[in-house]
Amino acid sequence: MASGYKQIEEKWQKRWQAERLQISEADERPKFMIIFAYPGVTGYLHVGHMRGYTYADAISRFKRMDGHNVLFPVGTHATGNGAISLASRVASRDPDTVDYLLRNGCPEESLKLLETPEGVVDFFNDVYVNDYWKRFGFLCDWRRFTSSIRPDYNRFIQWQFRKLMDEGLLIQKPYYAPACVECGPVAVDASETDLSKGGNAEINEYTLLKFRCGDEYLIAATLRPETVFGQTNFWVNPEVEYVRVKVDGEIWVLSEPASRKLVHQIDDVDIMDKIPGRDLLGRMCEAPMIKREIPVLPALFCDPNVGTGLVTSVPSDAPDDLIALRQLQRDPEWMRSLGMDPSIADIEVISIIDIDGYGPCAAADIVDRLGIEDGNDPRLLEAKKQVYKDGHHQGRMNSNCGAYQGLKVEEAKLRMRDDMLNSGEARMFYDLSEEVVCRCGKPVMIRRVDDQWFIDYGDADLTSRTKEHCRTMDIFPTEYHNNVQGVLDWFRERACVRQGNWLGTRFPFDDNWIIEAISDSTLYPVYYLISPYANDGRILPEHMTESFFDFVILGKGESADVSKETGVSEEVLVRIRDDITYWYPLDLNLGGKEHMTVHFPAFLFNHQAIMPEHGLPRGIFVNWYITGKKGKISKSKGGAQPIPGAAEKFGVDSLRLYYSHVASPFADVEWDEDIVVSYRLRIEKVMRMVDELRTLDGEEEGVADFWILSRLSRHIQSTRAHMDSFDLRQLANVVYFDIPNDLRWYLRRGGRCKSTARTVIDSWLRMMCPITPHSAEEAWESFGGEGLISNADYPVSMGTDASSELAESYLRDVLEDINEIVRVTGMAPTKLHLYTAPEWKSKVSEMAVLMAREGNLSIPALTKSAMQDEAVRVHGKAASEFAKKTAQDTMRRSPAELERLSAPMDENSLLQQAKSFIEDEFGCNVAVHSADSESIHDPQSKAKAAAPLRPAIYLE
RNA sequence: GCGAGGGUUGCCGAGCCUGGUCAAAGGCGACAGACUCAAGAUCUGUUCCUGUAGGGGUUCGCCGGUUCGAAUCCGGCCCCUCGCACCA
């Protein structure tokens, strides 16, 4: 069976191609332009990635059927070093890499191609387009395909940056970034594309504190500059050899590794000589800010690779310092052996920060609470984290902290740091939290970049204009519509260029820089309107000058002038310009949730900065992920299998329906093959039902036909309404679940009408087409539908028939009641009596509904007006009881329900009509009585229980 | 810690904005019956507790409040997930 899918899929994909369905050209129709955020070319994708892409295709197919001229272009983002590093791993035939490639279906002979970055990009561009998107039946305009490292794209990006410069949004300032001492800038990230070690490292911002000690300075590195008022002593590791370096005419003492890092961050650092830690012990040094002399004491925990290898001691708030100090005080022999007088360690802890839930010295508190005595106790790390966290967020500087008293720790930290920086007592120093090693084997360090370019997303005017525009956009989920306002505020300057091993566009103002990945993927949707002309050679990269883009994108200048300058024919220029005015703005940009705080804000800002008002994007749709158990797509469950393999195994339409329906797009879903299989079964079931409908050959239309046609119209209306907010899940729910359920009822009710069946099939298949186009085409063909269903119109409601829908739901209610009685009594009835309510009860109900709608329904009011009616009053006590009950019931109804209750219905004739149906259902004779009639058969006097819309039932 | 999202009946997952038709859609699973030589498929019924007459009872993380009425609105709490931050 599974192989059958592939044939059908290929058959229809070829037909679509042959009939040029995917070609989008401007015309008279309203347009709809949709993209998904193009993926980075980083290797093979897994089945989870297809979720968002599938939404985009299904939405675009719906829009196409709904009368829009749809443009759905795709491309890839190759900027960065992913391809470079993959190529180098292939070139060296790294076994893991080769295995990964082959396992995912890479032909052995392609490995050669993958040895260059360009080869990697070409190869995967092909995989994405053919094995993923075309394989899934997407109707994309493939002529427009582009990739961010193509020369024409590069020209576009350079233009974008010139525009940003014109707007004053490119700024330069110093920046501290990781770099290999040999290869230059590298990316420190968990995937370790550039690295052989340390991908999880973070950049720590240390404050270097200078302690005057004779004519030199001991340099301590701290992450907590706000604790200087608690300094009691200085720690040096007696077993480490430190170095003296000359900085700005001063002599600094710090660890040798620190000195090697420092040269990348501070100019003119001269390394002079070495000095054993022992030689520093016992000296006094002057602590910064507080200008107090404190002693230099020995501690083995000072690591030369962390910070400067020298530590200032704040035992009140640093558990390490406290433990070291206590150990020292317990062990005078060690001090003597180092030639020191133990009394020098008689030190009082100074309390500086008040934290709720802690005593005056947080470090002592937590260390004592946990019973930590030894510096090697593994719990010390935990204690440290806890104290820092609590101190940082809840702490307040106390009366020992001079001018900073009363400040929150968070605030004091920045102020005290800045004050010390200004007074020359401190310098900044950046370091990685763990050892990071480049692929080349050399260490990675933080390097100061003086002239780093940034895009100034912090610009107040740009931010407020962008926020304003976002309020007018369609942004889904609606939570993000609100949230994006905050995200835009939070977005600040972003380093937009980098040096080193990196694929991308050269920075137009300085050839040494290459534009980084987030910055060259913001305005690109508009480039899909130019790319086809570049792809077929009508324009060449060298034609793409500033005035070219100014003309086609911004409409600046005259076509004749631009033609003369660029050498592009006027006709082509005008056509591109016309295309852009027709297709832009982008109607929907669809991307995964990771884009919410990265790509979408940049996308919005760049459009706002560069494009005129009418070019600003109209919509954003964010989709969540398909995950595996515990966050990874599990190999054993097959999720990690290649996408083409999943397509083969389950069928493309099954996967498309799975993505569309399995959950709200705004929630992560755990991948589970069994669920995909159940969607495959669902499609099969639906198709069987279509087949069954096709065999119907009845001539007459009956109540069931009126009913199903009304239901169909209702479903058409509701799916159209749902798709206004791109709610594919609701569409899928109606088409693949609600409609089959209704059809089951139709058949059960004896519906056999050929013309009804044809109407239903015709509409129903069209409704399937956005999500399961291959199956829909196949069934459409068997049905004898005209042309391609993918090219057909989405059905239009023929109008609903409320009374027939009410009648059927009434009948279902009656059936349900009978059923329940049968079940509860355990009877197998031989005869079934139904008694509809007498006329006078209907009168009372009508009165109640009327009074409720006018808002003056109450028990006495209803009773009173009911009793004024002669026909009611003759029923005496029964009448007043019924009025009371009816009033109570009706008062609780919502307006919508009152509406329903007020619709007229002849229950008796309805039941008479359905008599044979009910007889078939229960396999017994049915008699329908009106409680009004005289001398009815009613041995257990059930008839008196009859109420409007609730006939009494008696089983024999 | 900040920001965002979430906790619904065996499971998945609607509902919550716009309170009443909600014991709460739909699917899956399970059970029973029909069809069938049989299996599968299909159809029907059941699937919180309870009930030999269509009823009653207790539910939607926990506690409280508003209301004639709360899964839905308000306040507090607990837990989970994700960003960001923090951490010599």
pLDDT at A189: 66
pLDDT tens-digit map of A135-174: 999 999 999 999 999 999 999 999 999 999 999 999 998 8
Q: How far apart are CA A353 and CA A230, in angstroms?
A: 9
In Å, what is the separation between the CA of A554 and the C1' of B16? 46
> Is pLDDT larger for residue A616 or for residue A394?
A616
In Å, what is the separation between the CA of A82 and the C1' of B40? 50
Output the pTM of the full model.
0.89
DSSP string, A645-670: HHHHHH-HHHHHHHHHHSS-TTS-EE
In Å, what is the separation between the CA of A355 and the C1' of B29? 54
Which nucleotide's C1' sits nearest to the alpha carbon of A740?
B26
A190 touches strand B (CB under 7 A): no
Residue A653 near residue A138, CB atoms below 8 Å: no
Residues 6 or more apart from A683 whose CB is under 8 A from it? A651, A653, A654, A657, A736, A772, A775
Residue A636 pLDDT exceeds 60: no
A892 touches strand B (CB under 7 A): yes
C-alpha separations of A211 from A215, A219, A226, A228, A290 in Å: 10, 6, 16, 11, 11
Chain B, protein-covered positions (CB within 7 A): 1, 3-6, 12-15, 20-21, 25-29, 41-46, 51-54, 68, 81-84, 86-88
Residue A673 pLDDT exceeds 80: yes
> Is pLDDT larger for residue A934 or for residue A696?
A696
In Å, what is the separation between the CA of A753 and the C1' of B39? 33
In Å, what is the separation between the CA of A946 and the C1' of B68? 27
pLDDT at A634: 44
> Is pLDDT larger for residue A891 or for residue A847?
A847
Which DSSP state fits A558? -
> Is pLDDT larger for residue A672 or for residue A210?
A210
- Is the ipTM of this structure higher than 0.90? yes
DSSP string, A864-892: HHHHTSHHHHTTHHHHHHHHHHHHHHHHT
**Among residues of chain A, what percentage have pLDDT more than 90?**
58
A812 touches strand B (CB under 7 A): no
Which nucleotide's C1' sits nearest to the alpha carbon of A664?
B13
> Is pLDDT larger for residue A955 or for residue A931?
A955
Residue A439 pLDDT exceeds 90: no
Instruction: For residue A449, list its beta bridge partners.
Output: A175
pLDDT tens-digit map of A452-466: 899 999 899 999 999
> Is pLDDT larger for residue A330 or for residue A200?
A330
Q: How far apart are CA A256 and CA A272, in angstroms?
A: 11
Match 């070495």 to its residue by tokens. A274
C-alpha separations of A905 from A713, A805, A949 in Å: 22, 11, 9
Q: How far apart are CA A952 and CA A276, in angstroms?
A: 103
Give the range among A265-274, A378-387, A731-740 with minimum mean pLDDT. Answer: A378-387
A821 touches strand B (CB under 7 A): yes
A481 touches strand B (CB under 7 A): no
Q: Which residue is nearest to nucleotide B21 (CA to C1')?
A: A897
**Among residues of chain A, what percentage have pLDDT more than 70?**
97
Q: Which residue is nearest to nucleotide B19 (CA to C1')?
A: A894
Other residues' Cβ atoms within 10 Å of the Cβ of residue A839: 13
In Å, what is the separation between the CA of A613 and the C1' of B5? 33
Average pLDDT over residues A259-269: 90
pLDDT at A640: 56
Give the range among A249-253, A262-266, A378-382 with minimum mean pLDDT. Answer: A378-382
Residue A672 pLDDT exceeds 60: yes
A669 touches strand B (CB under 7 A): yes
Return chain A residues 15..74 having CB < 7 Å to nucleic acid strand B.
Answer: none
Q: How far apart are CA A85 and CA A679, in angstroms?
A: 39
Return chain A residues 323..382 having CB < 7 Å to nucleic acid strand B.
Answer: none
Other residues' Cβ atoms within 10 Å of the Cβ of residue A828: 10
Give the range among A56-60, A632-636, A688-692, A720-724 with minimum mean pLDDT. Answer: A632-636
> Is pLDDT larger for residue A445 or for residue A254?
A254
Confidence of residue A190 (pLDDT cuts 50, 70, 90): low
In Å, what is the separation between the CA of A750 and the C1' of B35? 18
Confidence of residue A194 (pLDDT cuts 50, 70, 90): low
Q: How far apart are CA A655 and CA A646, in angstroms?
A: 8
pLDDT at A707: 94
In Å, what is the separation between the CA of A863 and the C1' of B68? 19
pLDDT at A631: 40
User: Backbone phi, then psi, for A898, in 5-degree steps?
Assistant: -60, -40
Which nucleotide's C1' sits nearest to the alpha carbon of A318?
B88
Average pLDDT over residues A768-787: 95
Return chain A residues 596..625 having CB < 7 Å to nucleic acid strand B.
Answer: 597
Average pLDDT over residues A373-388: 77
pLDDT tens-digit map of A821-870: 988 888 888 899 999 999 899 889 888 888 888 877 888 888 888 899 99
> Is pLDDT larger for residue A826 or for residue A429?
A429
DSSP string, A393-426: HH-EE-GGGGGGTT-BHHHHHHHHHHHHHHHTSE
Average pLDDT over residues A757-778: 96
Averaged pLDDT of chain A: 89
Return chain A residues 532..591 having CB < 7 Å to nucleic acid strand B.
Answer: none
A954 touches strand B (CB under 7 A): yes
Q: Where are the alpha helices (DSSP H) in A800-901?
A: 802-825, 839-854, 859-867, 870-873, 876-891, 895-901
Which nucleotide's C1' sits nearest to the alpha carbon of A482?
B4
Which nucleotide's C1' sits nearest to the alpha carbon of A897?
B21
Collapsing DSSP to helix, strand or coil, A211 comes out as: strand
pLDDT tens-digit map of A275-306: 999 999 999 999 999 999 999 999 999 999 88
Average pLDDT over residues A929-952: 85
Q: Which residue is nearest to nucleotide B45 (CA to C1')?
A: A819
Confidence of residue A338 (pLDDT cuts 50, 70, 90): very high
Strands A241-247 and A497-498, sheet pairing = unpaired
Q: Please name the amino acid found at residue A668.
A: D
DSSP string, A598-643: THHHHHHHHHHHHS-GGGS--EEEEE--EE-GGGS--TTTTTTS-H
In Å, what is the separation between the CA of A427 and the C1' of B44? 81
pLDDT at A361: 85
